[in-house]
Structure 1
Amino acid sequence: MKATENLLHILREPGYRRSVLVRRVAAGALLAAAGLNALAHRNADPVVATFSRATAAGEVVEASDVELRRMPADAVPDNALTELDAATGQILAAPASRGEVVTSTRLVGPDLVRELVAGQPPETYSLVPVALAEPDIIPMLHHGATVDVVTVSADGVRPATVATGGRVVLAGAEEGTVMLLLRNSEAASVAAASLSSPLTVVLGGPAPG
């Protein structure tokens, strides 16, 4: 009660103490308004799926691997996933760090295929697992690398190219195996050759298209 009376007395009496009090009240009001404004903007930020832990390429994304977080709109990619179910159960095509936004092109699926074929009709390409005769090359392969698939000729003397311009989707998710995106016209040839001939890949072939 006494504190209230003192406050009223200061407000009634002109002078330095009233000026200080008025300035403090005004400053407090401005800070409160700024806080409410920041909170409103924060609540307006989009909610997106992010990785809750570092996740390796080739892993199947589990529910515990992802979480929903608010992110500034200008930091959210156009192809960000906004629901956890859209990521759960999918195969990760490239390593992800904790806190990274989950995008559709980071997961093995149609959006990733469209990105890798660079505007070509995605239905003219197929994903083919290839067991390599020389798995030591796998650490040199990375997601998105362009490769040719090579075997040996029927006489076992000369190299023979089975496919060109394949794109690496996954390398080493299964021991000694790479997942390649190949033109349909060559995918069957690679699959057939893998049944009877050793296969390897050569880096630096032309890109699809």
Structure 2
Amino acid sequence: MGDSLDPKPWTRLLDSRPDWTRTVAARRALAGLLVILAAMAALRPDPADGRVDVVVAAHDLAPGASLTDSDLHRESHSVTTVPDGSTASTDDLVGLTLTGPARRGEVITDVRVLSPRLTAATAGPDSRVVALDLADAALLDLLRAGDVVDVLAAEPAPPGSDSVAPPRVVAAAAVVVMVTQRSASPTSGDHRVVLVALPSRTAVEVAGASLTQAVTLTLR
């Protein structure tokens, strides 16, 4: 109560200033604030900067699907979230085979489709993909892209002989690239194969063995 009735000297001095001095001070303060806001707006990045278009799955996709225009569309993503091997053009992916399932909105990269880049990334630059018709087709339900397996082959038993030659390892550390899916048509049968990536020389040996010998896999 005493302070309000007996103001301090500097309080009385400020209150005694002309109105125009206070108006000028307020205008200067406002002008300074506007300058600061303008500088902040100039330094703020454009929302369009740092974003790129990438091709994503337009809907859920099954492995083995041959990609079409309707399976793909472009979306704008932040540069920091875009994986290597992505593309901005659907033409780069149309007609290629998807090696694994993809969810709607997932970016489709070069290692998600059958291509030389997938083979190189899986088994090295000098590598090939071999399709194997397994003697034990039940194994196909256990395999997934990326599994590391050994390829075994066994000579068929001679006619009239009950002895069976023991299987031998024809390739070690093959990488599963894709397992073909069951056909939706009941008349087309259920013939499925597994695709594995191997160094070129080993791939040739495995392909040759699969022509005359029963082939199976062991999982690591």
What aligned pairs does 1:82-101 form with structure 2 within 5 A after superposition?
Answer: 82-101=88-107
Deviation at 1:115, TM superposition (A): 1.7
Identity %: 28
Tell me the distance in 2 between the aligned counterparts of 1:139 and 1:42. Answer: 45
Q: Distance in 2 between matches of 1:76 and 1:132?
A: 37
In the alignment, is the contact (CA less than 8 A) between 1:168 and 1:181 conserved in 2?
yes
Q: 1:163 aligned to 2:171?
A: yes
How many Å separate the matches in 1 of 2:134 and 2:204? 16
Give me the whole-angstrom Cα distance separating, in 1, the residues matched to 2:122 and 2:202: 16
Deviations 1:145-170 (A, max 9, x none): 11111122465231211211111111
C-alpha change, 1:74 and 1:191, in structure 2 (3 Å) is: same
Cα deviation for residue 58 of structure 1 reads: 1.1
Query: Residues 168 and 179 of structure 1 are in contact (CA less than 8 Å); yes or no, is this contact kept in structure 2?
Result: yes
Task: For 1:95, give the aligned amino acid.
Answer: P
Question: Deviation at 1:181?
Answer: 0.7
Across the aligned residues of Structure 1 and Structure 2, the Cα RMSD in angstroms comes to 2.5
Structure 1 residue 44: Cα displacement: 5.3
Q: Which residue of 2 aligns with 1:192?
A: 208
Match of residue 136 from structure 2: 134
Contact 2:155 2:213 in 1 (8 A): no
Is the 1:61–1:89 contact (alpha carbons within 8 Å) kept by the matching residues of 2? yes
Pick from 75, 83, 86: which aligns with 1:77?
Answer: 83
> 2:146 corresponds to which residue?
144
**Whole-angstrom distance in 1 between the partners of 2:94 and 2:180:** 21
Answer yes or no: is the 8 Å Cα contact 2:155–2:214 preserved in 1: no
Q: What is the identity, as a one-letter code, of the residue corresponding to 1:138?
A: L
The yes-or-no answer on 1:68 pairing with 2:74 is yes
Deviation string 1:108-150 (CA, Å, 9 cap, x unpaired) is 1122122212xx4x12x11111101111011111111111111
Q: For the residues of structure 2 that align with 1:55 and 1:43, how far apart are their CA atoms? A: 31
1:149-199, CA deviations, whole angstroms, 9 ceiling, x for partnerless residues? 112246523121121111111113473300111222222222222222211
SS at match of 1:169: strand
- Find the structure with the greater CA-based Rg: 2
Corresponding residue for residue 28 of structure 2: none
Report what 1:176 is aligned to. 192
Contact 2:63 2:178 in 1 (8 A): yes
CA contact (8 A) 1:153 1:160 kept: no
Match of 1:114 among 116, 120, 129: 120
> TM-score normalized by structure 2?
0.69
1:58-89 Cα offsets, whole Å, 9 max, x none, are 11111100001111222111221111101111
Q: TM-score, normalised by structure 1?
A: 0.72
